[in-house]
Amino acid sequence: MNRGTFIMVALAAGSVALAWSARPQPLQAAAYEDTGSPMFGTFSDPTLATALEVVTWDDKAAKIVRFAVEQKAGRWVIPSHNDYPADGTERMGKAAASFIDVKKDIYYGDNPADHAKFGVLDPTGADGKGDEKGKHITIKDAAGAILVDVIVGKAVPGKQEYFYLRAPSEKRVYGARLELDISTNFTDWIEKDLLKVKREEIVALVYDPYVVDEQQGRVINSSPIRADLTQVDGKDEWVAPTEMPLPEGKVFDGAKARQIVTAIASIKIVGVRPRPKQLTLQALQSKGFFVTQNPGNPRLFGNEGEARIVTKDGIVFSLYFGEVTYESGLALTAGGEEEGASEEAPDAAGDGDGDGKDEKAANRYMFVDVQYDPSMDKSGDTPADTPEEDAENAKDKDKDKDKALKGQARAQVLQKRFGEWFYVISDMSFKQIHKDRAEMFKAKPEDKGAEKGKDKPAEGAKPAGGKVPAKSPPAKPDVPNPTSPIP
C-alpha cells in the first residue's frame, strides 16, 4: 500500500467514526428527586374532602364550563347549580379517593410547548383548543386548604389508566396511574328519585290534560279525571267514581291510570331553576305557568295540564306541566345566562347546518306543589269488616290528631324542598305521564257480567286505604274551568 492509499483509508475510517459518534441517541428519561414520590403530598384520607371543583373547556360551545360540589351548613350542595342539594357523601368520597396514592411515575419534560400535545393546557387560558386543554380539578378540606390541584390531560398511549398530569403553577408534566372517578354530570350528584314516593303508596289520582290558549288567555277542556285505588275481588284496581261522566259507549281504563301513577312515581329530572321567593307572573309565565285573576282565589295552571296524586298519609302532590325548552349542557341543567336562548325547536334538517346532527332534545318545565289533606289520610286505618266497625275506629280523636300532626309535618318538609325550585323533566318522562283524554277510556265490553267491578267499584269493594265509603266521594282536589281570563 503506497502512502496516498494509506492516507485515503485513514480518512475514510475517521469519517465512519465521526458519523457513528454523531448518530441520533435515544432520549433517556431524566431522573429527578421527586420521580416516584406522591403527586399530592400527604393527602391520604378522602373523608377530609368537603369541596370539589372541575373546570373544563367546551370546544363546541367555545366556553369555560365549571362544576362544583361542596358542603355548606352541614349539607352537600352544587354551587354551580344555585346550591341545589347534592347526594354528595358517597360520590365525593369516590372522587377524592381517585387521588390517593397517585405517584409521579413518568417524567415527560418541562417544556410548555409540549403542554398542548399532552392536553394539559389551562382550560381557562387563551391558548389551545379541544383536547389540548385539560380538566382542572381542585379538592379542598373544610378549612379551605387545598388537597388536590391538578390539570388532567390526555390518556398516555399504551399505558392503561395512565394520564398526563400537571400542577397548574408548574411547567413539568408527569404520567401517572389515575383511576379517575369524577363525574361532572348533574344528575349523577343529585337524588334521582324526585318525589320519593313508591307506587304502592299512591291511593288516588286526579288527571287533567287541559291546554292553555296563551293568546286567548283561557284554559281549554279542563275536566278532571279521578281514579282511586280500590280492592276489587281481593285485588287492587284503579277505578273511577260512579258519578264521573263517561263518554258514550266507554268505560274507564284503570290500566291507563296505573301507567300514569307508575310514571309519576319514577319521574326523573334533568335540570333545575331557582324559584323566586316572591313568585311573579313573569317568572311563572316564562316557564309556561299561569295564574287566574279570580279575586282572593288565584289558581295555578300549566300550559300542558296537570296531574295530582294522593298518598296513604294524605300528602297531595300536584304536578303542573309547563313550557318546552331545547337547551342543552349547563344551560339545561342549571339555566343561567343562556336560559331561554333556544326556545325555538330546530327543524328536522338540523337548524342551519343541513345535516340534521344538531337537532336538540325537547325537555319540559314542571312545577311541584305539596299539601296535606287530612280527609285523605288513611295511614293509621286498618280494614274493617263492617262500616259500623270502621265508624268506631274513627271516634279515636287522639289517633286522628296524631295522624294529622305527622301528615302536616311531612308536608311542611316537602313544601320547603319543592318550594325553592322549578324542575326540568325529559320529554320522555312527560310523554309517559301525559295522555290524551280519550286514552283514559276504553270500549265497553259486550259481556258486562264478565267485566263487573273492573270499571266501577263492586258492591262491598274497599279502597286500598282500608275504609268503606258510604258513597263515592266527589272528584277532589277539584280542578274547575276558570271563568276569568289568565293574564
Residue 281 confidence (pLDDT) above 60? yes
Would you tell me how many other CB atoms lie within 10 Å of the CB of residue 45?
Answer: 12
Return the pLDDT at 16: 47
Give the residue with greater pLDDT, 308 vs 478.
308
Residue 475 confidence (pLDDT) above 50? no
Give the residue with greater pLDDT, 452 vs 137.
137
Question: How would residue 87 be classed by pLDDT, with cut points 50, 70 and 90?
Answer: confident
**3-state DSSP: the chain helix, strand, coil percent, rounded to 5?**
25, 30, 50
Instruction: Count the alpha carbons within 13 Å of 66 in the hemisphere toward its beta carbon.
Output: 12
For the purposes of burial, counting CB atoms within 10 Å of the CB of 14, is it exposed (0-12), middle (13-18) or buried (19 or more)? exposed
Using an 8 Å Cβ cutoff, are 107 and 118 in contact?
no
Return the pLDDT at 90: 85
Residue 26 confidence (pLDDT) above 50? no
Name the 3-class secondary structure at 259: helix
Give the residue with greater pLDDT, 215 vs 142.
142
Which range has the worst mean pLDDT, 13-17, 260-264, 349-353? 349-353
Question: How would residue 74 be classed by pLDDT, with cut points 50, 70 and 90?
Answer: confident
- pLDDT tens profile 217-240: 889 999 999 999 999 988 999 999
Residue 378 confidence (pLDDT) above 90? no
**What gap in Å lies between CA 108 and CA 394, rounded to an integer?**
78
Give the residue with greater pLDDT, 80 vs 380.
80
Question: How would residue 391 be classed by pLDDT, with cut points 50, 70 and 90?
Answer: low
Residue 451 confidence (pLDDT) above 90? no
Residue with cell 408534566: 173
**What gap in Å lies between CA 375 and CA 372, rounded to an integer?**
9
Q: Which residues pair with 274 in a beta bridge?
A: 421
Using an 8 Å Cβ cutoff, are 9 and 17 in contact?
no
- pLDDT tens profile 298-316: 889 999 999 999 999 999 9
Average pLDDT of the residues of the chain: 81
- pLDDT tens profile 161-219: 999 999 999 999 999 999 988 888 899 999 888 998 999 999 999 999 999 998 888 89
Give the single-character DSSP code of 175: E
Average pLDDT of the segment spanning 407-429: 93
Question: How would residue 407 be classed by pLDDT, with cut points 50, 70 and 90?
Answer: confident
For the purposes of burial, counting CB atoms within 10 Å of the CB of 167, is it exposed (0-12), middle (13-18) or buried (19 or more)? middle
Q: What is the share, in percent, of the chain residues with pLDDT greater than 90?
A: 57
Return the pLDDT at 298: 83
Question: How would residue 355 be classed by pLDDT, with cut points 50, 70 and 90?
Answer: very low
Residue 132 confidence (pLDDT) above 80? yes
Average pLDDT of the segment spanning 351-365: 59
Q: What is the share, in percent, of the chain residues with pLDDT greater than 70?
A: 75
The gap from C-alpha 446 to its chain's centroid, in whole angstroms, comes to 46
Return the pLDDT at 20: 46
Average pLDDT of the segment spanning 13-38: 56
One-letter amino acid identity for 150?
Answer: V
Average pLDDT of the segment spanning 309-333: 94
In the chain, DSSP finds a helix count (H) and a strand count (E) of 9, 24
Average pLDDT of the segment spanning 441-469: 58
Residue 472 confidence (pLDDT) above 50? no
Return the pLDDT at 421: 96
Residue 116 confidence (pLDDT) above 60? yes
Return the pLDDT at 485: 38
